[in-house]
A and B are shown apart, each in its own frame.
Chain A
Amino acid sequence: MAVNKRETIAKNIARYFHDGDFVNLGVGIPTLSANYIPEGTEIILHAESGFAGQDGAITPPWDVNDREACDRELNNPKWADKENGWKIGHKDICDASGNLAILSKGASCFDSVVSFMMARGGHLDATVLGGLQVDEEGNLANWMVPGKNIPGMGGAMDLVSGAKKVIVAMEHNAKDGAPKVLKKCVFPLTAINCVSVLVTDICIIEFIDGKMTVVAMAPGMTKEELQKRTEATIHFADKIDVMDIVEE
C-alpha cells in the first residue's frame, strides 16, 4: 500500500493543534490538516483575507466558479440554516486564496490592517505553511523559485514574522530525490530563524535549542536513511515517536 505523502503530512501537523488555538493555514497541504483536527479539539482558523472562524471544510463542496451552483447551495438549508446561522457561504466571503469560503458559528470579520495585526502581533498560536526549502538555521524559503514566474509573497512573510509557532509542511525530498532540508537555503528566503516545526512525509523535526531535532519518523524509517535523504545535520530526540501514516 503506497503512502499518500500530502495527507500523511497533513495528519501529523494536526497533532500540534490544541483546543482553543487560533491558527492560520496556508494553501495546499496546510489546508488539508484541518480535516485531521482531533475530535473534541476546537480551533479557530484565521484567514488573512479578513476573518477568524473558517469552517473546517475550508472550501465549499461545490464548484465556486459555477454561479448557479453557488446560488443553489447558498440557499441549501445545510449551509444557510438560520438556526445554525453563521455556517454560510456568500459571494463576499473569501479565504486567503480568494476562493469562496464558509464561516463557522461565532466567526468574526475584519479589515486587512487588523488581519495582519493578528499575524505580526503574536496573536496567532500557530501558522502552518508550505515550504520549498528549510535549513539548519530555521530559515524558510517558500515564495519564489528563481527563474520561474514570481507570484509574490502574499502574506507569508508577515505570518511567519509573528506567529507563536511556525509549522512548515513539505515533502522531504524533491521529485528527483534532491534534498529540501538543507544546510543553507538556496532559494530566496521568506524569513530567517522562523521555523519551529517541520513536518515532512518521513519525519517531524522540531527546532530545540536552535538544533534540528527529529522527534518522530515514519514507520520503518531508520536514522541512517533519514540522514542520507537530508543535507542538513540532524539530531535525534531521546524518544522518537512513530508518525501516523495515511495510505492511498
Chain B
Amino acid sequence: MNKVVDIRTAIDKIKSGDKVAVGGFGNVGGPMNLLYELEKHPEINHLTTISEDFQMSETPYNQGFTGLLLNGQIDEIVVSFFGHKKAQAKVDAGEVKLTLIPQGTLAERLRAAGAGLGGFYTPTGVGTVVEEGKETKVINGKKYLLELPLKANVALVKAYKADRMGNAVFAYTAQNFNTAMATAADIVILECEKLVENGEIVPDQVQLPGVFVDYVVHCEEVHY
C-alpha cells in the first residue's frame, strides 16, 4: 500500500467551503508545508479553520495561517487561543468570524467526532460565557455542560516519521492536536519529515495508525 502523493495532489483534495482541521501547538507539529501550498491556491476559499491557536509569522515556509488569512481564504477561525494583530483586525472588521473554544473542550470535541460519540458532559466553562446556549446536567451533584462533536472535512497534520501506509510517529510534544484532528476528519493529509518503507516502524511505536490517514506527503523539515 502506498498513500504517498505530491503536495499539489494532496492540496487539491481540499474544496472551497471545507472545514479544515490543522494540527500543531504554536509552530510545533504544525503542517507548515501543507499550509504554504494551500495559500498558493487562493481559488480554494471560504474555509473554516480549526486549530489550537492561530499561528502567524513572517518567515517563509513557516508562516502558519498568515498567507491564508491575507488571501481572504478563511471565513471562520475556530481556536482556543488567538492573539495576532493582523488576524484581530480582520475579525474586528467583520471579514472573518471567530469562535473561541476552551482548549481541553476543543481536543475532546475532536476526539468525540473521531470516536463516534454524540457528545460529552464537561465541567469546563460552567458559569461562564461558554455555558451560554448549552444544555446542562447535574451528575452526582456537579454541574456539567453538554459539548457536541466537532467534525472536519479535511485534516492537515504533521508527523516526524511516517511510512507509506500513513503509520506515524511524532517527535516529543509535536503530537499535540495532530492525532485528535486526524481522527475527526473525512480526509486526512499527513505531512512527514522522514518517509520510511512499510514495516520499518515498530508496530507498538505507531502513535497515529495509518488507517486514519488518506494521503502522505514527504516534505522538507521546517525549522521554526
- Do A and B actually bind? yes
Write the residues of chain A forming the contact surface with B, with a CB cutoff of 8 angstroms: 47-51, 67, 90-94, 97-99, 101, 103, 109-113, 115-116, 119-120, 139, 149-159, 161-162, 188-193
Asked if B128 contacts A98 (CB within 8 A), the reply is no
Range of interface residues on B (Cβ < 8 Å): 35 or more
By a CB distance below 8 angstroms, the chain B residues around A47 are: 173
Asked if A154 contacts B81 (CB within 8 A), the reply is yes
Interface membership of B129, Cβ < 8 A: yes
Asked if A113 contacts B172 (CB within 8 A), the reply is no
By a CB distance below 8 angstroms, the chain A residues around B174 are: 92
When A and B form their complex, which 9 residue pairs have the shortest distance between CB atoms, in order from nearest? Answer: A98-B26, A158-B104, A116-B104, A192-B127, A155-B103, A92-B171, A92-B174, A152-B81, A151-B83
Interface membership of B49, Cβ < 8 A: no
Contact of B80 among A92, A152, A193 (CB under 8 A): A152
**Within the assembled complex, what's the spacing in Å between the Cα atoms of A97 and B27?**
11
Contact of B25 among A49, A103, A149, A156 (CB under 8 A): A49
Contact of A92 among B28, B105, B127 (CB under 8 A): B28
Q: For residues 108 through 128 of chain B, which have their beta carbon under 8 Å from a beta carbon of chain A?
A: 108, 110-111, 122-128
CB distance from B147 to the nearest CB of A (A): 11
Interface membership of B177, Cβ < 8 A: yes
Asked if A112 contacts B126 (CB within 8 A), the reply is no
Q: How many A-B residue pairs have CB under 8 A?
A: 149
By a CB distance below 8 angstroms, the chain A residues around B26 are: 49, 94, 97-99
CB distance from B91 to the nearest CB of A (A): 9
By a CB distance below 8 angstroms, the chain A residues around B178 are: 111
Asked if B173 contacts A94 (CB within 8 A), the reply is yes
**Within the assembled complex, what's the spacing in Å between the Cα atoms of A110 and B126?**
27
Asked if B126 contacts A191 (CB within 8 A), the reply is yes
Interface membership of B100, Cβ < 8 A: yes
Asked if B124 contacts A120 (CB within 8 A), the reply is yes
Interface membership of B17, Cβ < 8 A: no
Q: For residues 5 through 60 of chain B, which have their beta carbon under 8 Å from a beta carbon of chain A?
A: 25-29, 52-53, 55
Query: Max chain B CB contacts within 10 Å: which of A97, A112, A154?
Result: A112
CB distance from B151 to the nearest CB of A (A): 16
Asked if B80 contacts A116 (CB within 8 A), the reply is no
Asked if A149 contacts B128 (CB within 8 A), the reply is no
Given contacts A50-B173, A94-B26, is CB(A113)–CB(B103) below 8 Å? Answer: no
**Within the assembled complex, what's the spacing in Å between the Cα atoms of A58 and B190?**
31
By a CB distance below 8 angstroms, the chain B residues around A49 are: 25-26, 28, 173, 176
**Within the assembled complex, what's the spacing in Å between the Cα atoms of A101 and B28?**
11
Given contacts A111-B180, A192-B126, is CB(A67)–CB(B172) below 8 Å? Answer: no
**Within the assembled complex, what's the spacing in Å between the Cα atoms of A157 and B128?**
9
CB distance from B78 to the nearest CB of A (A): 11
Asked if B173 contacts A109 (CB within 8 A), the reply is yes
Asked if A155 contacts B82 (CB within 8 A), the reply is no
Chain A residue at minimum C-beta to C-beta distance from B208: A111
Question: Can you report 26 residue pairs joining A to B where beta carbons are below 8 Å apart?
Answer: A48-B103, A50-B25, A90-B171, A93-B28, A97-B26, A98-B53, A99-B26, A112-B52, A112-B107, A115-B107, A116-B104, A120-B104, A139-B127, A151-B82, A152-B79, A152-B83, A153-B130, A154-B80, A155-B102, A158-B103, A158-B104, A158-B105, A158-B124, A161-B122, A161-B125, A192-B128
Asked if A103 contacts B172 (CB within 8 A), the reply is yes
Contact of A152 among B82, B160, B170 (CB under 8 A): B82
Interface membership of B88, Cβ < 8 A: yes
**Within the assembled complex, what's the spacing in Å between the Cα atoms of A156 and B100?**
13
Chain A residue at minimum C-beta to C-beta distance from B105: A158
Q: For residues 155 through 183 of chain B, which have their beta carbon under 8 Å from a beta carbon of chain A?
A: 160, 170-180
By a CB distance below 8 angstroms, the chain A residues around B177 are: 111-112
**Within the assembled complex, what's the spacing in Å between the Cα atoms of A47 and B126?**
23
Asked if A112 contacts B176 (CB within 8 A), the reply is yes
CB distance from A203 to the nearest CB of B (A): 26
Chain A residue at minimum C-beta to C-beta distance from B177: A112
Q: For residues 124 through 165 of chain B, which have their beta carbon under 8 Å from a beta carbon of chain A?
A: 124-130, 160
Asked if A111 contacts B104 (CB within 8 A), the reply is no
Q: For residues 48 through 95 of chain B, which have their beta carbon under 8 Å from a beta carbon of chain A?
A: 52-53, 55, 79-83, 88
Asked if B103 contacts A120 (CB within 8 A), the reply is no
**Within the assembled complex, what's the spacing in Å between the Cα atoms of A230 and B20?**
48
